[in-house]
Amino acid sequence: MRVALESTIVAHGLPWPDNLAVARELEATVRAHGAEPATIAVIDGAVKVGLSDAELERLARDGRIFTKAGATDLAVHVVRGGCAATTVSATCAIAARAGIRVFATGGIGGVHRGDADDVSHDLVALAQTPIAVISAGAKAILDLPRTLERLETLGVLVIGYRTHELPAFYSRSSGLALEHRVDEPLELAQIAAEHWRLGGGGILVCNPIPAAAELDVGDAIEQALAHSTARGKAITPFLLGELAAITGGKSIVANRALAVNNAAVGAALAVALTACRA
């Protein structure tokens, strides 16, 4: 019972050495809850499902040489012997091929503000892949109403874990109601197993940031967006860096708390899925 963990949060989401501390904490959290962590990355052309501590440190220390890679980019990096940190879409694809059914991340990509046609491939990959993604909702820098609508259009099952609302990453509430709520890992596992038996694809499990770590970043996001000239894959790293600067590092603390919380729920789900198959 393995839990997939992405590498983009380590290479591009947090600064050194916070990123290494978080990477190790995520893996330790998964183990503490009875599952095995599998941090995913491409290293020197090899797809890695689970990293050694030395590889994890290389990913964190030398993040600038790890290209941010989505699912469609993987073959290029493998053939060219490159290094790539996997986004949600790439992690979903690799994890599913490795037989992993649970993936814990921070927040998924989605529809960008101001451009309804600028949509992360994360949503398409999630719709097509039979995996449960544990997330604190979509990243707060996105257009959350349109992201939720797009998930519905693509046929992604969205479940609130102990919440009736889509979490807004740094905030527990977005004001966007969810149709389905689950409060215990076993019922979540039962629903997931039946969903896949019926031929369903991905499941987005929305797990709010812990209340003690919640952060109001509304004004900071507006400031960051005003400064942004980035597009495509460069948008998220740029805006996260701006938020960290504007909030004096508070966004990094919140990001760490929600990621660790998601890892704990992901491990609990993985263990419960094993019980369902027994």
φ, ψ of residue 177 to 5 degrees: the values are: -75, 145
139 is catalytic: yes
Total length of the chain: 278
Residue 216 pLDDT greater than 90, yes or no: no
Catalytic residue among 6, 27, 57, 165: 6
Inter-helix orientation angle 18-32/250-277, to 10°: 30
| 217/94: higher pLDDT | 94
**248-260: average pLDDT:** 90
**Which residues touch 250 (CB under 8 Å, ≥6 apart)?**
215
Helix (H) or strand (E) holding 67: strand 67-69
Q: How far apart are CA 108 and CA 271, in angstroms?
A: 23
Q: How confident is the model at residue 222 (pLDDT cuts 50, 70, 90)?
A: confident
CATH number for the domain that contains residue 171:
3.40.1790.10
- Predicted confidence band of residue 136 (pLDDT cuts 50, 70, 90): very high
Residue 194 has pLDDT above 70, yes or no: yes
The confidence band for 275, taking pLDDT boundaries of 50, 70 and 90, is: confident
Q: At residue 240, does pLDDT exceed 80?
A: no
Is a pLDDT exceeding 90 seen at residue 42?
A: yes
- Whether 128 shows a pLDDT value over 90: the answer reads yes
Q: Is residue 48 a contact partner of residue 41, using CB atoms and an 8 Å limit?
A: yes
Q: What is the pLDDT of residues 9-39, one digit of tens each?
A: 999 888 899 899 999 999 999 999 999 999 9
Give residue 236's pLDDT.
66
Please count the structural domains in the chain: 1
Q: Peptide bond before 17: cis, by omega within 30 degrees of 0?
A: yes
DSSP-derived pairing of the beta strands 46-49 and 157-161: unpaired
pLDDT for position 261: 98
DSSP assignment of 180-216 equals EEE-SHHHHHHHHHHHHHTT---EEEE-PPPGGG---
The pLDDT tens digits of the residues spanning 177-191 come to 999 999 999 999 999
For 94-114, what is the mean pLDDT? 94
Cα 202 from Cα 124, distance rounded (Å): 10
% of the chain residues with pLDDT over 70: 94
Q: Name the active-site residue from 139, 165, 233, 242.
A: 139
Q: How confident is the model at residue 228 (pLDDT cuts 50, 70, 90)?
A: low
- Residue 230: what pLDDT? 57
Q: How does pLDDT run across 60-103, given as a tens digit for each residue?
A: 999 889 999 999 999 999 999 999 999 999 999 999 999 999 99
Q: For residue 179, what are the domain limits?
A: 2-277
Closest C-alpha among 111, 193, 96, 199 to residue 150: 111
pLDDT-derived band of residue 251, with 50, 70 and 90 as boundaries? confident
